[in-house]
Structure 1
Amino acid sequence: MAHKNKDVCVAAHVYDVVELADGTRFLDVCSPETSDDHCRFTVMSANEDRKTVGDLSRYLAQDIRIRGVVRPFGGRAEILLSDARQFHGGAEKFRPNPALLHGFSAEDEKPAVNDPALRSGHHRSVFKSAR
């Protein structure tokens, strides 16, 4: 997996569109002659992204270009398709890291980050103007 965790643009042919019972959809980009065990790449779209991705059946039997981060999944590489703009060079849908949002509320008057330099009673912050 040469491009693991890299944002790349991939050109592929869509041989099939597969939908699982939970609504997860896959663009099958391996030829029918390639066994499932030998297929090393797929494009996956979660059910929660259906609205921003749209109807995938229109890509059936089409050559596509898709941008995304190549991630390992089930012994193969995959790109997560979360927004239709990925077909036109756009990035995946932004998803905030829940670990970074822990303890933050928009109603709080504290910053969204836990930066010791922003706490009072500590060394001067480089962000504060010198007097």
Structure 2
Amino acid sequence: MGLRRTSAISAALSACTAGRMGGFLLAGVLACSGVTAQAARRCYSSAQALHHLRHRTCIRAHVYREINLDDGTRILDLCSPGAADCEFALVSLDRNRKSVGSLKQYVGSDIEVLGTVEPIRGRAEIVLRKAAQVRSRNAREVAAARPRERRVKQDRFRANPTLLKSFNAEQNRAPVSDPAFHGGYSN
């Protein structure tokens, strides 16, 4: 794929230098933006997170479990159970719970997290502020396999409250006051 993209860039640049600016310029710009986007998506392992402190980067890791603290903070444990010291973690604060959503879907799956790696007590962490920061192939497959819940429209009929006050089903009179039903007309 990289070879194909490189040849597309070189073809676009040679077309631009030859004076054929038309669609090749647009193709060149799109190809270049694809290369920079691809370079920005490079993910590092969680062991390399300490080398990218205070940088917005992508970290790839396996989630072993979710830890819920008393203050509502949730931590995704990215270290194997046998590891003595964990150097990297994902943290979701209680105030971001609504925008991040459930983290249980990531347990047991490989994820990629995009965010700023922050140092804390000799370790590194990324604070999750929204769900779009996390990409998980396994979670996407699970979500796709799960049947979608259909939103059922509720009844839109609502009785007029003023009519309800004047009507009682146990009464022996008509629910509507119509002069035609009052006496005075005879056959």
Tell me which of 98, 101, 117 is aligned to 1:54. Answer: 101
Alignment coverage as a number of residue pairs: 86
- Which residue in 1 is equivalent to 2:87? 40
CA drift of 1:75 comes to: 1.9
CA drift of 1:64 comes to: 0.5
- Which residue in 2 is equivalent to 1:26? 75
- Which residue in 1 is equivalent to 2:134? 87
CA drift of 1:87 comes to: 1.4
- Which residue in 1 is equivalent to 2:121? 74
Which residue type is aligned with residue 43 of structure 1?
L
Structure 1 unpaired stretches of 5+:
89-131
Structure 2 unpaired stretches of 5+:
1-49, 136-187
Deviations 1:81-101 (A, max 9, x none): 11001014xxxxxxxxxxxxx
CA drift of 1:74 comes to: 2.3
Highest CA radius of gyration, 1 or 2? 2
Deviations 1:52-105 (A, max 9, x none): 0000011110110110000001220000111001014xxxxxxxxxxxxxxxxx
Taking only aligned residues, the RMSD between alpha carbons, in angstroms, comes to: 0.8
Deviations 1:13-52 (A, max 9, x none): 00010010000000000000102xx210000010000000
- Which residue in 1 is equivalent to 2:57? 8
Q: Matches of 2:96 and 2:128 in 1, distance apart?
A: 8
Q: Matches of 1:74 and 1:46 in 2, distance apart?
A: 18
Please identify which structure carries the higher helix content.
Answer: 2
CA drift of 1:2 comes to: 1.1
Q: Matches of 1:74 and 1:58 in 2, distance apart?
A: 28
Which residue type is aligned with residue 102 of structure 2?
D
Aligned to 1:39, what secondary structure does the other structure show? coil
- With a CA cutoff of 8 Å and minimum separation of 6, indicate the structure with the bigger relative contact order: 1
Please identify which structure carries the higher strand content.
Answer: 1
Aligned to 1:58, what secondary structure does the other structure show? helix
Q: Matches of 2:55 and 2:75 in 1, distance apart?
A: 20
- Aligned pair 1:64/2:111, yes or no? yes
- Which residue in 1 is equivalent to 2:18? none
Normalised by the length of structure 1, the TM-score is: 0.64
Q: Matches of 2:68 and 2:117 in 1, distance apart?
A: 21
